[in-house]
Chains A and B, each alone.
Chain A
């Protein structure tokens, strides 16, 4: 099962959030499982249509995912998945 790490910023809204392993063969499946574990998390990461939010990045190991619209990048149990915010300010 791929291991998932999160930006610490998300802990403000999901205080129990911690590094974890989840079932899933695609990024979309990983996010869906995370949303079951942490209800509402998907709405922080994905928009109304299920696409990755503009200022959020998901990495598989060191590579940014390529499918930001339907999150079909494959993941395996050897991968680490990182859910980070992009840097922006104001």
Chain B
């Protein structure tokens, strides 16, 4: 089953598009001119969430219960008074990276990942949020979490195990992957096998840079991450990672990654050149897919620009539903594939820079 509606968070507002026709039709526009860092629909009660990044007025959280027709502002998470990022540096929310629903058995549980790295949790449907102190107070935080691209560490990935809502995996860029098996009270770093070329000790217990971590929903022990230092895969819930980057490229650096629901050996990435050169490889955009757990990769280019292309795809700007994939770029291009990423059509080239792309579940 595929969806015909895309929800976009962009640098100039939230957009909802009907992509069933030859040309996309705009069905909702909100927060015009305001950067939307992440937008999603919580399928448990069809509540839509949008994270706003005001240039002047800070980070704001909005909720819609009528599929984006009307929105209400909800108090955004706040770090408790006196909390510090490091000695003398007050902890304040400087970016809302993503909203994620809790488990199916926790209808009022929501999580928010923030810069400077804190995880927030709500148990009242998002009315109020509290800092998950077990993670914030982890002894590795002050030594191993830091900014990369932004000023401070960002909690960009949240995975709640569909078999057990107390089992949570999060990814911090830069900080690493952490696992909790007790609903967030305690956490363990899960970075064995990952490397961090930018650290004096590349195999340190933490300090890795998972740009985005995803799991296969029907095979939750299979995790994939597009890391700053390559693509990594784990088949045991993050206890051991394997570098499955492509020798000679292009699969190495990037931000976005998606994994198949049914086939956990199948994943997609959208490669970029490198840390110091964040553009499409060779001026040509491609989506690379593996069907064998990362042993081999195939680059698909049909329908994607192959010259003078500088597009980068942010970590939350690739989504998959059934055989469909969609992604938006920093250059304002939006692409859709109906054949598992093998061919693409452009849905428009004049969108604002795209932060997040989500297929809405078919109603």
Contacts and interface: CB of A to CB of B under 8 A. Distances in A.
Nearest to A57: B56
Given A9-B56, A55-B55, A49 B76 contact: no
Interface string A56-85: 100000000000000000000000000001
Interface string B66-86: 000000010110110111000
Contacts of A86: 56
Interface in B84-135: 90-93
B58 A43 contact: yes
- Residue among B79, B81, B90, B91 with the highest chain A CB neighbour number at 10 A: B90
B75 A53 contact: no
Given A48-B79, A48-B92, A85 B56 contact: yes
Interface residues of A, number: 20
A37 B35 CA distance: 28
A56 B56 contact: yes
A56 B81 CA distance: 20
B56 A48 contact: no
Given A40-B73, A40-B75, A43-B76, A13 B92 contact: no
Contacts of A10: 57
A6 B362 CA distance: 44
Given A49-B91, A49-B92, A51-B90, A44 B79 contact: no
A88 B55 CA distance: 8
B55 A90 contact: yes
A55 B93 CA distance: 14
Given A40-B73, A43-B75, A48 B55 contact: no
Contacts of A43: 58, 75-76
Contact of A44 (B58, B81, B83, B92): B58
B57 A48 contact: no
A89 B33 CA distance: 11
Given A40-B73, A40-B75, A49 B90 contact: yes
A89 B93 CA distance: 20
A55 B56 contact: yes
A3 B91 CA distance: 32
A47 B55 contact: no
A85 B92 CA distance: 19
B106 to A, nearest CB: 26
A13 B57 CA distance: 10
Contacts of B78: 48
A23 B97 CA distance: 38
Contacts of A90: 55
Contacts of A48: 78-79, 81, 90-93
Interface string B211-248: 00000000000000000000000000000000000000
B73 A49 contact: no
Nearest to B91: A48
B81 A47 contact: no
A22 B84 CA distance: 33
Most buried by B among A10, A47, A53, A56: A47
A80 B253 CA distance: 53
Contacts of B79: 48-49
Given A40-B73, A40-B75, A53 B90 contact: no
A84 B93 CA distance: 21
21 contacts: A10-B57, A40-B75, A43-B75, A43-B76, A44-B57, A47-B58, A47-B92, A47-B93, A48-B78, A48-B91, A49-B79, A49-B82, A49-B83, A49-B90, A49-B92, A51-B92, A53-B58, A56-B56, A85-B56, A88-B56, A90-B55
Interface of A: 9-10, 13, 40, 43-45, 47-51, 53, 55-56, 85-86, 88-90
Given A47-B92, A48-B92, A86-B56, 12 more contacts: A10-B57, A47-B58, A48-B78, A48-B79, A48-B93, A49-B81, A53-B56, A53-B57, A55-B55, A55-B56, A56-B57, A85-B56
